[in-house]
Amino acid sequence: MNSNNTEESKAGRQATAADIDQPYVLFLVGARLNRLTWPGRIRRINQAMSAMQRELLARPELGCARIENWAGLTTVSVQYWRTREQLLAYARSSDSEHLPAWREFNRRFANDKAFGIWHEIHEVSAAHGLYVNMSPLGLGRACHLLGDRTDQVLSRA
């Protein structure tokens, strides 16, 4: 899989394709602000998530290939993992930033309905991305870290 496959058309349109033909895990995680609350509570959750993400990016052997974040009333972190086993091992490891942060969240905030925490795990066997007139994001940036081949797909677009 690769994303650096760019072609410029006569009209000046630029497109990049990303393909992956091997299994990987798409992990979506985030929080939603349900009502205004003390900013310190939100800051603590943001700090914990930032610490986890710094750890994952600094230690690629843990299995997380790419992270992208979007913030708003609902925050979303899109993470590309090599395997489900690596994701779950990280989540359960007492040596990681995650488990102590999760325990702290449950101790302090689990009953605070001002915000919620959510996640989804998607096991994917193949994927395709197309980015027209923009730089790749998501799969397009993660694919060279996850996979092994490049396909030119502009003829299909």
Radius of gyration (Cα) for the chain, nearest Å? 18
Q: Is the pTM of this model over 0.85?
A: no
Handedness of CA 103, 59, 90, 117 (dihedral sign): positive
Measured CA to CA, the distance from residue 101 to residue 51 in angstroms comes to: 9
Question: 8-17, 86-95, 144-153 — which one is most confidently predicted on average?
Answer: 86-95
Distance (Å) of CA 14 to CA 11, 64, 134, 149, 156: 9, 29, 8, 20, 14
Quote the mean pLDDT of the chain.
81
Question: Which one, of 146, 152, 151, 133, lies nearest residue 65 by Cα?
Answer: 146
Could you tell me the pLDDT band of residue 13, with boundaries at 50, 70 and 90?
Answer: low
Comparing 25 with 33, the larger pLDDT belongs to 25
Residue boundaries of the structural domains of the chain: 1-22+125-151, 27-124
The structure tokens listed for 157 are 């677009």
Indicate whether 119 pLDDT > 70.
Answer: yes
CA–CA distances in Å: residue 9 to residues 39, 63, 142:
49, 37, 25
151 and 5 Cβ atoms separated by less than 8 Å: yes
Write down the architecture of domain 27-124 according to CATH: 2-Layer Sandwich (3.30)
The predicted structure's pLDDT at residue 33 = 84
Distance in angstroms (rounded) separating the CA atoms of residues 130 and 138: 11
- Give the sign of the dihedral formed by CA 30, CA 35, CA 36, CA 39: negative
pLDDT tens-digit readout, 123-142: 998 888 888 888 788 888 77
